Amino acid sequence: MKKVTSVFWISLVIASIFVIWGMVAPVQLGNVMDKTKVYFLDSFGWFYQLSATFFLIFSIFLIFSKYGKIKLGADEDKPDFNRSTWFAMLFSAGMGIGLLFFGVSEPISHFMSPPIVEGGTPEAARVALRYTYLHWGFHAWAIYFVIALVLAYYKFRKKQPGLKSITLTPLIGSRAKGVIGIIVDSVAVFATIFGVAASLGLGAAQINGGLHYVAGVPNNFTVQLIIIAIVTVLFILSASTGLQRGIKYLSNANLVLAVILLFAFLMLAPTGFVLDLFTTTLGSYIQNLPSMGLRLAPFNEEQATWIQDHFLLGLVDCLGPICRNLYCPCIQRENRPGIHDRCTRHTSTGVCLLV
């Protein structure tokens, strides 16, 4: 049995404090979290945007550079999964229920209240889709890729523990395994807990809202708690069967359903208009990518608030769950950490294609 580390106990204590706080004084906790969010977005919004842009440039660089040939594993290792399954796993790791819900609600919200033009106009529709692509596009996947790449490199090629503190070894040396390392890993676990909790909570609310609209199921806390319990059991069952069974099958099924939904949408919607709109907004997104990715609007408070509440908050969410960041390129055979998959070029290209 492996030794329980101090990171576990520190994370457990911190998480327990917030859980108890939320149960005893939920309104106060909500107010504190709102103020904390505003402070960090106001003070470090520039840092989030510069970091995400750097990650994107770095990801593109790896595709075309000699470093793209570095394997995330030993030189003689072969991929555990074929490309279609690997692609399905990447898709399922980064695109969950949020894509189904926010994929519709987000552009509609932006259409009614866009950041730079009058709402409800044809131009607002183009801007809405452009900023939706920005939220779900290259920047988000670049964050997933770079953070996961570093973890995967140390874990599968250097045979080091899959800890974020280990990735700091070139910078701080042996101190990465000391107090500084414990602090880094504790913060990583803390961010993961809250990131997953937020995704699970929002997902349960979204499922409940859909069931209420379609089947008249009551939309309340009790139903959402039941949904969370069911999802948790399903997650445990899929995770316990390992990557080769449960997660592999679920990922493939998830991608098949997504493709069916896509074709159903194309057939039921005005196909020509949808394809024309997609092509136009995709070109606009790529054309305006540098300016949108580095836009903070310091001279316009209303626009600055909009950017913080939408794009910046999405970037922070991408930086959170370590499990999702690690899972993206680290699809390997359970209990065989030396057997891995692709080189850095394949992984970077894969996440770019998912956009």
Question: What are the structure tokens assigned to 216, written together?
Answer: 């008249």
Instruction: Render pLDDT for 258-275 as a digit per residue (tens, 0 to 9).
Output: 889 889 988 898 989 989
Q: Is 1 part of a structural domain of the chain?
A: no
pTM above 0.75, yes or no: yes
- Most confident range (mean pLDDT) of 123-132, 141-150, 168-177, 340-349 is 123-132
Whether the pLDDT of residue 247 is over 60: the answer is yes
Residue among 125, 122, 4, 145 nearest 62 (CA): 145
Q: Which long-range contacts (CB under 8 A, 24 or more apart) does 15-18 make?
A: 15/190, 15/193, 18/194
- Is residue 350 within 8 A of residue 141, CB to CB? The reply is no
Q: How far apart are CA 164 and CA 186, in angstroms?
A: 10
| Confidence at residue 335, expressed as pLDDT on a 0 to 100 scale | 35
Q: Is 248 part of a structural domain of the chain?
A: yes
| Confidence at residue 340, expressed as pLDDT on a 0 to 100 scale | 43
Q: Is 175 part of a structural domain of the chain?
A: yes
Instruction: Render pLDDT for 190-218 as a digit per residue (tens, 0 to 9).
Output: 888 887 777 788 778 888 888 898 888 89
Domain limits for position 25 = 6-354
- Most confident range (mean pLDDT) of 63-67, 276-280, 335-339 is 276-280
Output the DSSP codes for 299-318.
T-HHHHHHHIIIIIHHHHHH
Q: Is 304 part of a structural domain of the chain?
A: yes
Instruction: Render pLDDT for 329-340 as a digit per residue (tens, 0 to 9).
Output: 445 443 333 334
Q: Is 317 part of a structural domain of the chain?
A: yes
- DSSP helix/strand/coil, 150: helix
**Predicted confidence band of residue 115 (pLDDT cuts 50, 70, 90):** confident
| Confidence at residue 226, expressed as pLDDT on a 0 to 100 scale | 92
Question: pLDDT: is 135 or 241 the higher one?
Answer: 135
For the residues 119-146, what does the mean pLDDT come to?
87
Domain count, the chain: 1
Q: How far apart are CA 224 and CA 201, in angstroms?
A: 8
| Confidence at residue 17, expressed as pLDDT on a 0 to 100 scale | 92
- Is residue 224 within 8 A of residue 205, CB to CB? The reply is yes
